[in-house]
A and B are shown apart, each in its own frame.
Chain A
Amino acid sequence: MSEDMEFLLAMVLSGASIGLMYSLIALGFVLVYKATDAINFAQGEFVMLAGLILVAVLGFEGAPLIAAIVVVLAAMIGFGFGLERIVLRPLLGRPVVAVIMATIGLAAIIRGLGPVIFGKEVRSVALPIGDDPIVLGPANLPPIQVLGAVVAIAFFLGFTWFFKKSRMGVAMRAVADSQQVAQAMGINVERYFALAWAMAGVVSALGGIVWGAMLGVDVQLALVGLKVFPVVILGGLDSVGGALVGGLIIGIVESLAAGYLDPYVGGGTKDFAPYVLMILMLMIRPYGIFGRRQIERV
């Protein structure tokens, strides 16, 4: 393979792996939107919170990693339940702006009080996966990214099965489609809302663990949340598969932009490209590749 082709392949693989890491975060967003129609601007902060809890637990002498992971999962599930109860239930039926601002406010709270409660210094997470890059053809992938990709794909498979085949998943989809009819059929809507947020908590917990291991945990971890939007717009706000595909596309596009466009423009297209892609998508097919044709066109 010629060197240029090798480089291209390496860029694509690198972009794909980071893209799947983005999908991991986007999944949390999609879960919430799919089940409850709520838009979570605080997804990045959830991931950060999970990371903070993780390193706080690991900070205790001799705490095994497994215990820490269990604590994080439990904490994030509890957080999801609590959040739904206290903040989101009163906001049911309110205009979109209200929920968006509520999650923005929530993001500010977590970002402000998280370091105060858990400590502000950067802490790294040591996962037992080694540091040597995994070689995949011409590409060297950091093992943590491979782990993240595996987790994302596992979630994708798991949630696809859940929503298609399991009783609870079908019930959740019914609730998302039409709350009133679901209630008429005897489905406890409130319980399913809580469940959706709890599931999002689980995804955030794993996202926090993986991203925390990759970047180290501190306040800035929340910034990954901004990447969510291009991914879900591309993939469809309520599609689990879309989150995966959207993440892959965004990751690869970013990578190629950095590699091939940057030299001409003096840098920075990596940031720029996903948003341009997103706008194009919004103009042509706003509900994304896999989303449902549900939004009101003017």
Chain B
Amino acid sequence: MKSETDSIDDGLLLRRVISGDEESFTLLYRRRHPAIYRFALHMSGNVAVAEDVTQEVFMTLIRDLKKFDPARGTLSGFLFGIARNHLRRRWEQDRRSVALPDDADELETLLAACAGAGKGSPSNGNGKANAPFLVRRDEFTSLETVARVRQAIATLPENYREAVVLCELEEMSYEEVASALDCPVGTVRSRLHRARALLAEKLHDEQPLRRVSAVGE
């Protein structure tokens, strides 16, 4: 069931935020920040960077609220656009934030923790369960596959990575992604197509992807 606050659209919330309503800002932040955070984390592979970027995105929103023009796209696209700019700026300043072993481990830990929390199976961060909890084979395989996919995504060129994260992981439409990335829809489509081909290639090099189901194979 939708709560009353869920039914308030972003436009109304923004207007309230502009008039200084703190509750509306909190609501807007809680509604929109997870996607921004995930995007930044998938793009950077670093929790600290993802948090900084998320904070910067909403700081920018607070300071330049009136920059958002609903006629030019959705608020979500606007926020992703800011996040992307901040990420790029960071990469220009410090190129080491992507796909370093430490960062990769950090994300593995996070993924494993999520898997543990979701399925009731604590994990040691390597995708393997701690005793005495037993992990079903399908879960282990799934976690392993997820880690491989994430690593493969992390090694994609930046433009392709953005397309995969936004289109596939955030399930945004081509139009929304085009607005966020400030490029034509056709470009998004071709980048995604190429990114998927690259991903399949990378994963295929290791071992063919197996389809995992809840009941195992």
Does A associate with B in a complex?
no
